[in-house]
Amino acid sequence: MVPVPAQYHHYIPRFILRTFADNFSLIKSNTEYIATSTPGVFEPTDRPLVKQGGGKKSKKSKGRKGKRGGASGGAGGSARGGGGGHQAGPGPSPREVSHHINVYQTTDYTIELNNTARAYGIYDMYRDITADDEMKFEKLLSNLESTSATFIRKIWNGGEISLTRVQLADMKKFLCIMMYRGEHRWRQYHDGLLDFRTLMSVKLHMKNNNIEKVQDVWFDNLKWLIETPISDIMDEYQKAEPMGPKNPFMTTSEHKSPIHDLELLDFGRMAQNFVCVWQAQEGSEFILSDNCFGAFEGDNGLPFHNFFIVSPRYAIVLVNQFYMHTPGMLARSFKKSWFSEKLHLSPQTVYKKGPPPPLRGIALKAHFSPDDVFKYRRIVVPKQDVYKVNSIFLDCRRKSLTYKSTVCMLKSLRFYDKVKSDEVLFTYEHDYTILKRKLFADLNRTHSS
């Protein structure tokens, strides 16, 4: 058998990374995207064209050594949380253009213009050496990403954002897998960084399933999540949830899950949350970090929001179902959400079987159809709230940060400096003095040239 060469697997999708390049822009398509009832299919299939522009050449700026922050987690990442992405993406653009993005490395305090082909990824992250097709799961992941990329392109285009019930479920599956497949979660299993409760649960899972290495648990979980239809995943979750840990000292569910049960419970709870589309107010932008996909705000066991940045302008946000529709939940929670309920909008639902019955529960679920369509609206997020999201990423980052606008990044850093001392919201209180100096110097050079 011919050996398969090493492949670079992105944990932040490359098609999202490209939007942070200076030479990336969208030419709005003349055709609207409309959801169809066919799983994983959208019509029409044309994509926004990439407009070629004058990108900068690669540069590297070095700075003095200073205080370094700790590992990721805290407000933006749970003990098992992280972020995700993948190389193959939705396919080549009509014109192949090299895209370079700003990447700040916190280990050596340098800003580099990195090619998106080799940014935010790990070699052979999804290679299965036990399979005949070693890249089987990489390919399955690519297909899932391609379907979700079509929905994300709708968001970029400015037209109607619609999904059928089946497509919405697949979209949530993609977001949950993006969080699980990220470098942070991968390193927790590979470098022994799991919290004590999770490690005890993993050890018990290994014993019950004759698994020898902790690292194998991560990949077994990922393979099952990728291969299994979302409906079957949720069926397993429904079986595990009533038998799940009843208190913080329990480490496992009584249900024998096909994967590590705490991961199954996390996945199932996230998949039930509501999707909102946030649009940054003009003059502000979202940033990226190596731990930002799925980063959360709220309690570790009950996050209010999970964030998934899809461009400097847009974010997909999973809002906790109880927070969104249970009056008074915030008053009973130990933590208070940083974000107003005005940033939540339920989608307009078009039911295939006509208007739904007034009753809820089983009667309403019986009315559901795979062909139901959900229409989402973009919620314009005030600048201060954009800076709040960015400050969560600035606190939970591991080693890398990416931004498009120097001005917006500088404003986000200044906002973080004002709020990072809040121990309820933040864990690490990183010092970004060197980065601020570099950004300020870049602005001065730009204005003087």
d(CA 166, CA 311): 24
How much is the pLDDT for 195?
87
Least confident of 133-137, 322-326, 338-342: 133-137
Share of the chain above pLDDT 70, in %: 76
| pLDDT band at residue 47 using 50, 70 and 90 as cut-offs | very low
How much is the pLDDT for 329?
59
Token readout for 351 is: 């039911």
Radius of gyration of the chain (CA): 22
Model confidence at 249: pLDDT above 70: no
Phi, psi values for residue 316, rounded to 5° = -95, 130
Model confidence at 29: pLDDT above 50: no
Model confidence at 337: pLDDT above 80: yes
How much is the pLDDT for 133?
59
Phi, psi values for residue 14, rounded to 5° = -65, -35
d(CA 372, CA 352): 5
153 to 28, 62, 160, 360, 432: CA distances (angstroms): 10, 36, 11, 33, 33
- Burial label, 138 (beta-carbon count in 10 A; 0-12, 13-18, 19+): buried
d(CA 6, CA 176): 26
Model confidence at 273: pLDDT above 60: yes
User: How many separate helices (H) and strands (E) can be counted in the chain?
Assistant: 14, 19
In the DSSP assignment, the letter for residue 378 is E
Helix residue ranges, H only, 158-195: 165-180, 183-190
Angle at CA of residue 14, ends 215 and 441, nearest 5°: 105
- 349 touches 374 (CB < 8 A): yes
Name which residue leads in pLDDT, 241 or 370.
370
Least confident of 48-52, 55-59, 248-252, 359-363: 48-52
d(CA 413, CA 409): 6
Model confidence at 78: pLDDT above 60: no
Greatest mean pLDDT range, 2-11, 38-47, 360-369, 370-379 = 370-379
Name which residue leads in pLDDT, 271 or 125.
271
d(CA 30, CA 28): 6
Helix (H, G, I), strand (E, B) or coil at 10: strand
| pLDDT band at residue 1 using 50, 70 and 90 as cut-offs | low
Model confidence at 250: pLDDT above 70: no
Token readout for 173 is: 């599956």
d(CA 438, CA 188): 32
* Neighbouring residues of 43: CB distance < 8 A, sequence distance ≥ 6: 33, 34, 36
Helix (H, G, I), strand (E, B) or coil at 11: coil
Model confidence at 76: pLDDT above 50: no
Mean pLDDT of 407-431: 95
Token pair 């939007």 in the structure block, residue:
19
Greatest mean pLDDT range, 37-41, 74-78, 204-208, 355-359 = 204-208
Helix (H, G, I), strand (E, B) or coil at 171: helix
Q: How confident is the prediction for the chain on average, in pLDDT?
A: 80
Among the listed residues 180, 164, 81, 65, the one whose alpha carbon sits nearest the alpha carbon of residue 125: 180
How much is the pLDDT for 50?
38
84-109 confidence digits (pLDDT tens) = 333 334 444 445 678 999 999 999 99
* Neighbouring residues of 222: CB distance < 8 A, sequence distance ≥ 6: 126, 137, 177, 180, 181
Q: How far is CA 119 from the centre of its chain?
A: 16
Model confidence at 333: pLDDT above 90: no
How much is the pLDDT for 241?
81
- At position 73, the amino acid (one-letter code) is G
How much is the pLDDT for 240?
86
How much is the pLDDT for 48?
37
Least confident of 30-34, 164-168, 206-210: 30-34
* Number of neighbours of residue 176 by Cβ within 10 angstroms: 26
In the DSSP assignment, the letter for residue 191 is T
How much is the pLDDT for 390?
99
Question: What is the helix, strand, coil percentage profile of the chain, to 5?
Answer: 40, 15, 45
Strand runs (DSSP E) across 68-168, as ranges? 100-105, 110-115, 121-123, 161-164
Mean pLDDT of 248-267: 76
Mean pLDDT of 50-75: 38
d(CA 47, CA 96): 14
Strand runs (DSSP E) across 221-377, as ranges? 274-280, 288-289, 295-298, 303-309, 314-319, 348-350, 373-376
Angle at CA of residue 321, ends 318 and 326, nearest 5°: 140
212-225 confidence digits (pLDDT tens) = 999 999 989 998 99
Helix (H, G, I), strand (E, B) or coil at 8: strand
Greatest mean pLDDT range, 36-40, 136-140, 143-147, 423-427 = 423-427
H or E element in which residue 284 lies: none
